[in-house]
A and B are shown apart, each in its own frame.
Chain A
Amino acid sequence: MATPTNTASRVSGLSGATPARRLGPGGRRRQGLRRRKTITPYLFLIAPVALLVVFTYVPVVNMFGYSVTSWNGLSPSKEFIGADNYIEIATRPELFGVLRVSLYYIGASVIQIVLALYFATVLSFNVRFRNFFKGIIFFPYLINGVAIAMVFLYFFEPGGTLDSTLNAIGLGDLSRQWLGDPGTINYSLAGTSLWRYLGLNFVLFLGAIQSIPAQLYEAAEIDGANRWHQFRFLILPGIRPIVGLSCILAISGSLSVFEIPYIMTGGANGSETFVTQTVFMAFKAYKVGLASAMAVVLLLIILLITWVQRRVVPDEKVNLS
């Protein structure tokens, strides 16, 4: 569930047409249309809005409600206990402390973004087998998460792919229980996450770089700019909004990691994340109240980060031409 869907950018897009557009030529005709069919748009919107309310707004409101009860998810009555669940989260280190595990994934995301920037820049220019390399780097993002988890379970097995590779290049001494050792488990899992998501950042950056007008590179080259200068003064400012966005998505994705640790280790050996723990609390330990409070905490943290991002990197259009 750490899929980096692109929240913040979608937000700016949905904001609808500007009033000015609506008063263009043909405005009078449109007014006539409007008078005649005032209920029509509602008919078209019944299904989407009903689904939106039932599967997004009702759960969000309920979640806040459950979070102040000791409900187990089954019994017909819900006992109100006020802020107790929140106090429990704040005081039991094993609950809030798992957020520490996110740091490994945040670390991996930094490497992921840097690598994606590098490969996107390199592959924006003339390179032999360009499409082949593009495909290879992007493809992991399309692979089923369970399949990826299985691939890397095998990869990290004792005597598996990684150990054999290390043996082959003479580093056999480094072999260890990659997923059995609490010291390496989160590095292994975060590495898997990097392998999986690099492609998405890469493709987003590639798209952004390609929208920079080609004559700017020519002008820069006439001015004697080398590739690094071009990257530093042209590409980076040109794609700044998408880089900022990727950072935010990386952070909120790192906080809500679920699939990889859940499938690969089941949360063993200190690889438990906030979400695997929430799922455990809600559906195995039947503490829906406590789990809801944890989910509320996570939601608020993510909203806070999104808000900070909107302040730090405003969604402005960069004008290079």
Chain B
Amino acid sequence: MSLTDFRSTEAPAARRARTNRTEIVGGRIAVTLKYLSLVLASVVVLLPLLVLLMASLKTNDEYVNGEPFDAPGNWFNLDNYVTAFTEGGMLRAFVNTSIILVVSLVGTVLIGSMAAYALDRFEFRLRKTIILLFLLATLVPGVTTQVATFQVVNNLGLFNTRWSAIALFLGTDIISIYIFQQFLRSIPRELDESAAIEGASSLTIYFRIILPLLKPAIATVVIIKGITIYNEFFIPFLYMPDRDLGVISTSLFRFKGPFGAQWEVISAGVILVIVPTLVVFLLLQRFIYNGFTSGATK
């Protein structure tokens, strides 16, 4: 491409003076349209959420007899939240999700960084083959193989235990290995090489040098992976049907049954699920944007 394509033969200054007035008017319209589109997008995003927030604060009577846009009579009516939390089993759901989240994240960080360390810092015969294995696996969308994965999980005796979800979160995660590998390349080899010369074992090098230096990458992986696990529906739904093992997603899904048309309670459950995400997002905004761009594009 060439930028000279749209350079006219006229001197730019003369041309600019002539078109100045129309440009100002046109510019104003463009700016107005720009802000209008941004405001419209914000309304489209926020409206469904805000209406649900209002619904969650209404009494059943207010919900049945009112319109969605009617404000709740008492903005601090938290009865529905109490119902969702106790009867809907949201407390248990948060506990289960936290257990799976912590174990999976620790495992992902260790396994991913170990794999990346081995692949980046060592020359060995099967290196190319193993890299190829990881590469090919990225081409297989998880959702297509679940029918057969289910049989594997079942045969391992993991069905209906938390370990099924943990094993799948650890086993099907290749993006974290990739992020760690990208980051490892920017760490000078001289660092761990000199440690090796002084007699440090590979394990010592990994734990004392590599892992601490990987902190920024670990943050990225924990954020991206954490959000994915918190939001995952398919895996817990399929592998942990037991009520007591319900996580956030599956417990909220079950609201459809007992609370049926009680939208004020369902809304409270939904808001309960969204609030932690919102808090994390507001606190870690910058890292989240960076994580998604570096995790997905490079």
Contacts and interface: CB of A to CB of B under 8 A. Distances in A.
- Same complex for A and B? Answer yes
Interface of A: 1, 3, 5-7, 9-11, 13-17, 22, 26, 29-30, 33-34, 37-38, 40-42, 44-45, 47-49, 51-60, 62-63, 66, 73, 115, 118-119, 122-123, 127-128, 131, 133-140, 142-147, 150-152, 154-155, 157, 159-161, 164-165, 168, 195, 200, 203-204, 206-208, 219-220, 222-225, 227, 229, 233-234, 237, 242, 245, 252, 256, 258-259, 263, 275, 278-279, 282-283, 288, 291-292, 295-296, 298-299, 302-303, 306
Contacts, number: 329
Contacts of B69: 164, 168
> Chain A at the B interface: mostly helix, strand, loop or mixed?
helix
Contacts of A139: 45, 278, 281
A26 B181 contact: no
Given A1-B142, A144-B252, A275-B143, A33 B193 contact: yes
Nearest to B272: A147
A150 B266 contact: yes
Contacts of A115: 41
Interface stretch (B71-79, B211-219, B287-295): B287-295
A229 B115 CA distance: 46
A152 to B, nearest CB: 7
A18 to B, nearest CB: 11
A6 B296 contact: yes
B47 A143 contact: no
Counting contact residues on chain B (CB < 8 A from A), the size range is 35 or more
B148 A59 contact: yes
A118 B196 contact: no
Contacts of A38: 124
Contact of B52 (A29, A122, A154, A282): A154
Interface in B1-42: 1, 3-8, 12, 15-16, 30, 34-35, 37-38, 41-42
> Chain B at the A interface: mostly helix, strand, loop or mixed?
helix
A278 B150 CA distance: 13
A117 to B, nearest CB: 13
A115 B112 CA distance: 35
Nearest to A61: B148
A203 B145 contact: no
Given A34-B122, A63-B145, A154-B51, A1 B139 contact: no
A58 B148 CA distance: 8
B281 to A, nearest CB: 6
Contacts of B143: 1, 256, 258, 275
12 contacts: A15-B131, A15-B135, A45-B118, A49-B133, A55-B152, A59-B152, A63-B147, A135-B281, A137-B42, A154-B263, A161-B68, A207-B293
A165 B42 contact: no
Contacts of B189: 26, 30
Interface string B158-196: 000000000110111011011001100100011001001
Which residue, of B30, B141, B146, B175, has the highest number of chain A Cβ atoms within 10 A?
Answer: B141
B45 A200 contact: no
A51 B151 contact: no
B115 to A, nearest CB: 4
Nearest to B8: A224
A45 B130 contact: yes
B260 to A, nearest CB: 12
Rank and list the top 6 A-B pairs by shortest CB-CB distance, nearest first: A207-B293, A55-B171, A51-B171, A44-B118, A63-B148, A41-B122
B186 to A, nearest CB: 12
Interface string B82-113: 00000000000000000000000000000110
A278 B147 contact: yes
A252 B292 CA distance: 19
B283 interface: no
